[in-house]
Amino acid sequence: MVKNQVVTETNFQFTNLKNVYKGKVRDVYNIDNKFLVMVVTDRISAFDVVLPVGIQHKGQVLNQIASLFLDETADIVANWKIETPDEMVTVGHYVEPFKIEMVIRNYLTGHAWREYKSGKREICGEKLPDGMRENQKFEKPIITPTTKAVLGHDQDISKEEIIENQLATRQEYAELEKFTFQLFERGTQIAAQRDLILVDTKYEFGKKDGKIFLIDEIHTPDSSRYFYLNDYQEKFEKNQSPRQLSKEFVREWLINQGFQGREGDKLPNFSTEFISQVSNRYVELFENITGKKFLKPNENQEILQRIEKNINVCLSKLK
């Protein structure tokens, strides 16, 4: 009997496979520069470091949430998705990506708070007032882009630096900015319907035939941070940390263990109990943000074989 399977690596060979890109979490198969097969693995990263453990159900959670939100925002901007043939897989159009991530924030928390706490009052060209507190809401959302690093850390970058370094033209950036605000507004509305606050998130875009596409993931716990709406204000007023659904608690745990991805930092040991806790958090977010029951895969089925079969069926229809 096959049980408790975790997918941390894939090595598929598909017809017309041109190349494979293995990111921190996703394995992306390029089919003849026409289609991309994105397998969302159970790998987990923090501080741009892939941790040496897999989190059961994580890939399925991320893929299914992203697939849902791609459908629910397709009226705002075209996206790369064609089909989700498997719980852990999305197949879509091959799109040339912009080498930036459009990060948008509505609260001073996470990386932004750490920068602010260190004394910075400007992030990515956005000026911040003195006297703000951790988890405080901004007057309006701010965009704080980062570079898209193939290896190592993504770096904060301003709008003007993006244009100066030809990562996007001024016109392209204006479109990216517009779509980012619109997507965030939609995500905020959907989250509120589920008694959640979409705190911050990031979007990635690409271009195909002169048209901008939303690519990769959207509004997942890896790319986004959520607070519970019902007690955020009370906890903020009491200087307490809000309850949140995101990967931030993993980062905080690592920080407490002395790891922040810096040179010389040593990864801590990951207990079975902690890994199980992380898995449960991902399932919890799925059910909260989608309003649907998370359906775990058949424990008697070999996941990699299932994935490969479902992808091949999908690709055979696209030829």
Domain match, 177 and 312 both: no
Long-range contacts of 6-11 (CB under 8 A, 24+ apart): 6/42, 6/54, 6/55, 6/56, 7/39, 7/41, 7/42, 7/54, 7/59, 7/88, 7/303, 7/304, 7/307, 8/41, 8/42, 8/43, 8/54, 9/41, 10/39, 10/41, 10/304, 10/307
How high is the mean pLDDT of the chain? 94
Model pLDDT for residues 197-254, shown as the tens digit of each residue: 999 999 999 999 999 999 999 999 889 999 999 999 999 999 999 988 878 789 889 9
Q: Which domain covers residue 144, as residue numbers?
A: 97-210+225-250
Residue 8 lies in a domain: no
Domain match, 92 and 122 both: no
Domain match, 40 and 92 both: yes
Give the chain's domain count. Answer: 2
pLDDT class of 299 with cuts at 50, 70, 90: confident
Look-up: residue for tokens 């091959």?
94
What number is the average pLDDT over the span 91-120? 96
Domain match, 101 and 199 both: yes
Is residue 92 pLDDT above 90, yes or no?
Answer: yes
pLDDT class of 1 with cuts at 50, 70, 90: very low
Per-residue DSSP letter, 84: E
pLDDT class of 3 with cuts at 50, 70, 90: low
Domain match, 158 and 92 both: no
Which amino acid does the sequence have at 70?
L
**How many other CB atoms sit within 10 Å of the CB of residue 210?**
5
> Can you tell me the distance from the alpha carbon of 4 to that of 25, in angstroms, rounded to the nearest whole number?
19
What number is the average pLDDT over the span 144-173? 89
Cβ partners under 8 Å of residue 282, min gap 6: 55, 57, 58, 61, 62, 221
Is residue 148 pLDDT above 90, yes or no?
Answer: no
Residue 237 lies in a domain: yes
In the prediction, which pLDDT does 87 show?
96
Specify the length of the chain in residues: 319
The answer to whether 247 and 317 have CB atoms below 8 angstroms apart is no
Question: Model pTM?
Answer: 0.91
Strand 146-147 with 100-107, pairing: antiparallel
Domain match, 105 and 243 both: yes
CATH number at residue 239: 3.30.470.20
CATH number at residue 65: 3.30.200.20
Cβ partners under 8 Å of residue 125, min gap 6: 158, 159, 160, 161
What number is the average pLDDT over the span 258-263? 92
Domain match, 206 and 155 both: yes
Domain match, 169 and 76 both: no
